[in-house]
Amino acid sequence: MSQGDVHRCSAGHPILPDDDAAAQGGAHGALLAHGVEHVTVAAEHLLRDVLASQRTRAAAEDPACGELWGDLDAVLGGKLMRPRLAAAAYLGLGGTDVGAAAHLAAAHELLHTAMLVHDDLLDHDEVRRGRANVAGRTRARVAAQGHGPAAAGQQAVAGALLAGDAALAHAFGLLAGAAPAAPGALPELLRLLADGVGTTVGGELLDVRGALAAPADVDALLVAELKTAVYSFRVPLESGAVLAGAAPGARAVLADVGTALGVAYQLVDDELGAVGDPAVTGKSVLSDLREGKRTELLRIAYRRADAAQSAVLDAHVGRPELDADGADAVRDVLHATGAVEAVRTSAARHADIARTLATTLPEPLATYLHGVVDDLAGRER
C-alpha cells in the first residue's frame, strides 16, 4: 500500500461518524476499536512500503546498503501496541484522517524498531522473537562470506548500530505524512518524539549503569518510567492527542495514563520474566536471572532478605550458567520475602491509577483505554 493509497482509503469512510445513534454505547466503542485496527493495518502496509523503497534506493548505491534495510524489514513484527495507542488517542479525540493517523502510527512502530535494535546491541543479543535480529543476520551473512568470528562480530555490531540509526531517522521522516491533517501540529510532534527518545536514552543509560550497582540500590521504577513508559505509552498517546488538536487537558491526562500504564506493564513484565509460566507467557524464566537484571522484584527481595536468603540470591543471580534448580531456589526467595506479592500490588496500583485517569476522557476512548489497561496489566502468569 503506497502512501497515496493510505490517504485514499479514508476518503468517504469516516472512522467515527457523527450520527447520534451510531455514537452511543457499545456501537460507538466498536467503531473506535474498528478504526484503530483500520489505522494499524494501514500503518503496517505503509511501513513495509517505506522500507521496501528505501531498500531499493540504498541497493542502487551498494548491495550492502540494501541489505541493511532488508534486515530492518525482516525484524518488523509484534503486537503493534504503540501504533494502536496513537491511533486510539487520535480517533478517540475526534481525528478522522486515516492517512495522517497511519503515518503517525508507522512512525511510532519504526521508532520502536530502532529502540529494539539498539537495545539488543546493548544486551549482546542476536535473537529477537525467536529469529535472528539485525546483528544476528549480519553476523550470519558475513560468516557465510568466509570471514572469521572476530570480523563477523565487528560487522554485526556496526550493522545493528547503523540500522537502528537509519530507522530512528526515518521514523521522524514519517511524521511529515501526518502534516496535511494538522500542519500546525508537526513542530510539536517532532519535539514530542525527540524528547521521548532523549528520555528513553537516559533510561537505557541508567539500566546499563545499574549493572555496576548492587540490586538493592537501583531505582528500577525510575528506569521503568524513563526507558519503557515514556516512548512506549506516554508519547504515542500524547502524539495522537496533538495530531487531533485536542485540548491541553486531554493531552495531559493521556500523558499521565501512559506513564502509569507503562510502569504497570514493566512491573508485570519483570515478574513474568522471573516467576511466570513459560508455557503461558512464552517468556523464559532464566534469562533475566542469568543476566542479573536490576528489576523492582529483585530490589525488594534483596532489601527484605535475611542472611541465608541473601546468600541464595548471591549464589545464583547473575550467573550465566544458572540452571532450573538454581532458578527455583531464587524464586523461592522471591516468594518468601514477599517481593512477588509487593510487585503485583505495585503493578495493580499503577494500573488502577491509569484506569481512574482514563475515566475522565471522553467516550469511547475512556472505555477503550480501560480495556488496554486490563489486557496489559493483567497478563496471565
Segment 88-124, tens digit of pLDDT: 999 999 999 999 999 999 999 999 999 999 999 998 8
Cell of 111: 521508532
326-331 contacts, C-beta under 8 A, 24 or more apart: 327/285, 327/286, 327/289, 330/274, 330/289, 331/274, 331/275, 331/285
pLDDT digits (tens, 9 = 90+) for 330-341: 999 999 999 999
DSSP 358-376: HTTSPTTHHHHHHHHHHHH
pLDDT digits (tens, 9 = 90+) for 222-254: 999 999 999 999 999 999 999 999 999 999 999
Most confident among 121-135, 180-194, 333-347 (mean pLDDT): 333-347
Q: Is the pTM of this model over 0.85?
A: yes
Which residues are within 8 A (CB) of 49 and not within 5 positions of it... i.e. 6 or more apart?
1, 2, 3
If you search the block for the grid coordinates 563477523, which residue do you land on? Answer: 152
Position 6 pLDDT exceeds 50 = no
